[in-house]
Structure 1
């Protein structure tokens, strides 16, 4: 059989294929996804589940004239393969290579960047209404899946779209999964739609009787969708003003193609419910879609294997262990995650304390206000959330937590650069956007041991505190198993030098120490951005000619800015060099190389200080 995929440089050729060719192409695309992700790492389960849907969409719709908006964006590898980027797949999520998410600057087929969830319906509606206003005949299709329908923004968009007269199609890619196992009433509702006995029986009988007669079989499949509508009338989505069709098998080209072709002819907002399986076609991923959600490199014939030697404990694991230990000590502790149980290290906590564990789905705004409500009643909420996702709940952070000065602990994972996930997931902005909020405090542990201790300190406070820590492991300092904190708002001198003092916030303390050895500089482990240890700062400023601030976060408005503000308030005039993430988005790549490129490794820190203040007379 002649391979089809090598001849496809854009999806226009798919529109000439018959269904047998589309099925063959789907198999080839699935193999291509598996082969490339096993070599580079990346999102696997979600992409194996969207192969047939992607092929069918590019077959039926005239892309890129018709707009496809993918949500969440980590299900778009088949889309990338079919839109001229197959040969670049070996560069996936690597520095200078293609992104793991849709990116407008990368391809005209990536109509909207969707690395954070639940934005697709809003964006596609905007595109559809713009086409109408400009008098252009085009369709806008939002493909939303992986739990993204649990977010309030998706329903805000449905509410608006349901009364809009435009060519909008919303496709719910229902794989019964977000990143963690599914939660909430919406998931139960979708499960009920799928479990109607009458529907299942009619479907099976129709297929067995009519399969030998293709025209009748096709008619029966269409009737099947209408029968489902009669069995479950007035669905939730119909109440929003959509014409609801489904659910249909998202891996069945013979169902997808005619359904999409029919919906393409209809006016007004349409809603198609397709059911897919995460990891489809790769048995290991089908059996454990969570483990294969975002694997590193692996052998597809063997699957994921545990490393021969135990890796260093990650900050996420430190947090997970602390959470269990503190919950065992204090019955008031409750833990909240917005659909990131595994990523935030909360699996063991859920097992040990199921009644005190709350996965609210992909609903960061709700997570923060829910925590505020718990705190009002005397509980001690800990919100485990990625730094990049706390951005989505900023109003709630201010209005519902900080103004009321409620004792909520925010464990901010993935602070700083995150490597392969790139700019959309970088935790670069939490220091600036948190430190400007009254009542909020910010702790920046330098290593794993400090992370555990500062989490305890944060928990002991009677006001909201964030503890920010990076992805992966740090210096490898093994935490003490006690629940003893560190002094609130106090730093420490880690190396005594002369002339220049480096004020390090967070894990960049360790490259700062290396740079200081060459420079003969003092190094201060500041630990807290807010409250800033002003007494220590003024002491250091009085005994040194110049100061350097160092942080893995945005320089603008960051910890260095806090230092400058404090010095100005005290009337102290000292030159200050601020080192941190520059005022630009840093794309995906190896985290070590990205930090080096930003001048935040030991040699980069040394070069920047020498360039500003001159080479040291002597080191030591």
Structure 2
């Protein structure tokens, strides 16, 4: 990859003769395929943005002109062009290159953006800052996909920028997809601008429209000069239109049409998600390496299977997601009951309040989101669902430590949020049996909202209870009621290991799985009161988490059993293997044992 070795920064790219750029684009694609297939990461989005990123760095001067990547998973080419190609050998590994923009990595990364529909708002604020400080020669560029443009926040920002005269260039990377095909009226409108049979199209891909020749569209109505559509893989056309946008010194939207997964046949032919995000896969076929034995089901697939069974049984069960039909496990239900599954685009706030409307209309919506994305709709969960005590079930995938996607994707805060909400019932299944049972219990509840959270990855073996009291499962009891370990979710094996170590040291131990974290049942309060010490263990932030909620409940009922809460630190945790990050956070059997021994000795854990 000698052509890449010469690129230490964007200035090297700007000095290259234009005739060398197509070969460079080919080298970048080959590099991405080789490195991402080996390490895992976002392949399809970056293959589709090669020429677009080259043109942006040729026309604009980073970091003087901030280049802001919406969602951030299509910034790999940007990282290569800003001197970080050697880091791809440790992409998304502990201490290695992040899979998203990272301010700690480079001055060329202005924001650590991996949540969608935000780049245009960043651009609005940065352009205001430049205007206030007199840096009117600088241009702010926001690169946003058509999928991310479906989020309401993007249009809030367009509304503000379009009413100004500030030099902001919004580059719309239109590949007609997020994970899958983009849905809704905006997608249809963009097709009218790019499809050759539509009467109001602005021009063929490869040509750049102008204010005089472009028919009115949603962006011109919002105050932008619309340029495009332009072929997002034609370097000459891209550079021409971006230079025109830079020269206008006002709000401009450049509409670039690209192909997700461009240059890698398995991605281009994959109708599901164009190899959007991959684990370790074959760099020729795009398929994962064969496993010697069938792997256990994932939490996601098990949820999808169980939800389909519930949909078969109940016609009032409907499902909602935000552009993540397959990643959240809703695809099986969508195939069988397409009229009962709603993909609302990357619009979590709208998803939640739309679910509230469905509940008002007599249906039971199941809202399937990643944990990290639920926090974007906190107000809607609180005021639009819980205030009305509506029967909506939230299913939160990727809860807790997620691993290589890093701080923006760890689902560390959902439980802290949900335990604050009056009437919210929060369940944490420990295994496949409990996931099926708790989802059924949640959907059967009609007096308010419920939520289930589970981690990324495969489901572990079943952890059977020795008995049940109320809704609480007792997983182990030695007979002597010294220490009660409360295991929330799939950390049960950890607590059982710690209990065995306690018993080996002559300390009586009980391990209980509350199953429902909220509301705290009377049986759990009685169980705590019968022990000398309680330790809670959760894959969520300790701050305001499930353990904190339990302690407050115990105080409200004048239960004085000392309690210690173990969980994730109040910090943004780096990317790395889930097991390692849990260990670093002290969520190990050894740390549980240490906490108990220190508490019994009267020293701080």
* Cα distance per residue 1:116-148 (max 9 Å; x no partner): 000000101111111111111211000001500
Conservation of the 8 A alpha-carbon contact between 1:144 and 1:170: yes
Tell me by how many angstroms 1:535 deviates.
2.8
1:5 maps onto 2:4 in alignment = yes
For the residue of structure 1 that corresponds to 2:98, the secondary structure is coil
1:389, 1:27 → 2: CA distance?
A: 35
2:208, 2:471 → 1: CA distance?
A: 65
Deviates more, 1:561-570 or 1:459-468: 561-570
Tell me by how many angstroms 1:539 deviates.
2.9
Among 574, 578, 582, the alignment partner of 2:569 is 582
- Pairs within 5 Å for 1:445-594: 445-462=429-446, 463-477=448-462, 490-497=471-478, 498=480, 499-520=482-503, 521-542=509-530, 544-594=531-581
Residue number in structure 1 paired with 2:231: 249
Tell me by how many angstroms 1:355 deviates.
1.0
For the residue of structure 1 that corresponds to 2:460, the secondary structure is coil
- Pairs within 5 Å for 1:594-609: 594-609=581-596
- Pairs within 5 Å for 1:414-429: 414-429=398-413
Tell me by how many angstroms 1:588 deviates.
0.8
Among 318, 337, 351, the alignment partner of 1:367 is 351
Conservation of the 8 A alpha-carbon contact between 1:388 and 1:426: yes
* Cα distance per residue 1:1-20 (max 9 Å; x no partner): x9321011111111112211
Residue number in structure 1 paired with 2:124: 125
Instruction: Identify, as 1 or 2, the structure richer in helix.
Output: 1
Residue number in structure 1 paired with 2:506: none
TM-score normalised by the chain length of structure 2? 0.93
Gaps of at least 5 residues in structure 1 are 208-220, 480-485, 616-620
For the residue of structure 2 that corresponds to 1:563, the secondary structure is helix
For the residue of structure 2 that corresponds to 1:419, the secondary structure is coil
1:605, 1:487 → 2: CA distance?
A: 24
Deviates more, 1:233-242 or 1:176-185: 176-185
Gaps of at least 5 residues in structure 2 are 504-508
Tell me by how many angstroms 1:423 deviates.
1.1
1:163, 1:121 → 2: CA distance?
A: 14
Conservation of the 8 A alpha-carbon contact between 1:457 and 1:487: no
Tell me by how many angstroms 1:430 deviates.
1.1
2:212, 2:396 → 1: CA distance?
A: 44
TM-score normalised by the chain length of structure 1? 0.91
Residue number in structure 1 paired with 2:387: 403
Conservation of the 8 A alpha-carbon contact between 1:422 and 1:586: yes
Residue number in structure 2 paired with 1:179: 179
Tell me by how many angstroms 1:380 deviates.
1.0
Tell me by how many angstroms 1:175 deviates.
0.7
Conservation of the 8 A alpha-carbon contact between 1:319 and 1:451: yes
C-alpha spacing 1:273/1:52, structure 2 compared with 1 (3 Å): same
Residue number in structure 2 paired with 1:45: 44
1:448, 1:36 → 2: CA distance?
A: 34
* Cα distance per residue 1:484-512 (max 9 Å; x no partner): xx999721221113311101111111111
Tell me by how many angstroms 1:202 deviates.
11
Conservation of the 8 A alpha-carbon contact between 1:415 and 1:426: yes
For the residue of structure 2 that corresponds to 1:438, the secondary structure is coil
Tell me by how many angstroms 1:478 deviates.
9.9
1:408, 1:62 → 2: CA distance?
A: 48
1:514, 1:244 → 2: CA distance?
A: 62
* Cα distance per residue 1:299-318 (max 9 Å; x no partner): 21232145342210111111
1:299 maps onto 2:282 in alignment = yes
Tell me by how many angstroms 1:228 deviates.
10
